Amino acid sequence: MTAITFTKMHGLGNDFMVIDNQQQNIQFEPELIRRLSDRHTGIGFDQLLVVERPSVAEAEFDYRIFNADGDEVEHCGNGARCFARFVSDRGMTQSRVIQVNTSGGLITLRLQDDGQVMVQMGVPVFNPAGVPFLSEDVEAALYHDLQVGGELYRVGVASIGNPHVLLQVDDVDLADVERLGPLVESHPQFPRRVNVGFMQIIDRQHVRLRVFERGVGETQACGSGACAAVAIAHRQGLLDKTVSVTLPGGELKIHWPNENSSIEMTGPCSTVFEGHTRM
């Protein structure tokens, strides 16, 4: 049995178990994570977020992310906002601008006066090898053809430190997320699996989005998915530089100054409860 002190948090309903592993020494085995993530017999969460001592001089902390299925992943935008609020509220940092190190690289978290957090998510990557996406296209094409379940879809792909694919739909409420999500997530052209976005464009400054996250399923919100959707659609000439993204759990503001700049995401985060468990 492992004794664990934790905090439960969420960003627009995308929920997390947050653990300060600087003060504990927990080995995050996949089986332990799957037990903790179970919503009937465990704590229940989309992702587990772990605070660790920095492994690089440029960062104040290392930020590790595990999906509910136990796999460690590179990035989680909603989690990053909760991470910033967690370390600030507990006096672990006095900084208002916090550099953290993830397996996907360094990211910057900015605490806002209104309680929201802005995350500089990094420069999006569109070339197939960088996503990764197995394709005959070696260049960063605006669209790619993807064969799924006997049907051909025209998609966009991007990495925001983690892989994303975007399907444009007429109405997200009618999108076949439950069927297509798992098929696309594990499509053989995505060797590390992929987060699957379904986007409805309202106008050039507003979209609706649902995301089927790899290793989790559909979530109430996905910060990196919102960034990927805006970046892909902006390159396609469909959106402006600043866009409101409405997800099932609420709204994020995404701003991308230019293609060589870090994409910025701003939104809320909340603490639900704190607790101890032995599992």
Q: Active-site positions?
A: 76, 222
- Say whether both 162 and 135 belong to one domain: yes
- Say whether both 140 and 242 belong to one domain: yes
Total-model pTM = 0.93
- Say whether both 116 and 132 belong to one domain: no
Sort 154 into a burial class: Cβ within 10 Å, 0-12 / 13-18 / 19+: exposed
- Say whether both 164 and 86 belong to one domain: no
Per-residue pLDDT, averaged over 222-227, amounts to 97
Per-residue pLDDT, averaged over 5-28, amounts to 96
- Say whether both 7 and 111 belong to one domain: yes
Overall domain count for the chain: 2
* pLDDT at residue 137 in the model: 77
- Say whether both 255 and 135 belong to one domain: yes
Q: With bands split at pLDDT 50, 70 and 90, how would you rate the model's confidence at 279?
A: confident
Q: With bands split at pLDDT 50, 70 and 90, how would you rate the model's confidence at 198?
A: very high
Q: With bands split at pLDDT 50, 70 and 90, how would you rate the model's confidence at 102?
A: very high
* pLDDT at residue 2 in the model: 78
Q: What is the CATH number of the domain that holds 168?
A: 3.10.310.10
Query: How are beta strands 47-52 and 61-67 bridged, if at all?
Result: antiparallel
* pLDDT at residue 52 in the model: 97
Q: With bands split at pLDDT 50, 70 and 90, how would you rate the model's confidence at 136?
A: confident
Which residue shows structure tokens 């690289």?
Answer: 105
Q: Evaluate if residue 105 carries a pLDDT over 90.
A: no
Alpha carbon dihedral 165, 169, 172, 174, in 10-degree steps, equals -120
- Say whether both 135 and 229 belong to one domain: yes
Q: Evaluate if residue 138 carries a pLDDT over 80.
A: no
Per-residue pLDDT, averaged over 96-102, amounts to 96
- Domain extent, residue 74, equals 3-121+268-278
The pLDDT tens digits of the residues spanning 39-61 come to 999 999 999 999 999 999 999 99
Render the burial of 247-273: b for 16+ CB within 10 Å, e for the rest: bbbebbbbbbeeeeebbbbbbbbeeee
- Say whether both 116 and 24 belong to one domain: yes
- Say whether both 72 and 53 belong to one domain: yes
CB-based contact 222:254 (threshold 8 Å) = no
* pLDDT at residue 140 in the model: 87
Per-residue pLDDT, averaged over 175-182, amounts to 97
* pLDDT at residue 23 in the model: 85
Per-residue pLDDT, averaged over 63-91, amounts to 96
- Say whether both 141 and 197 belong to one domain: yes
Q: With bands split at pLDDT 50, 70 and 90, how would you rate the model's confidence at 26?
A: very high
- Say whether both 225 and 177 belong to one domain: yes
Q: Evaluate if residue 139 carries a pLDDT over 90.
A: no
* pLDDT at residue 57 in the model: 96
- Say whether both 110 and 156 belong to one domain: no
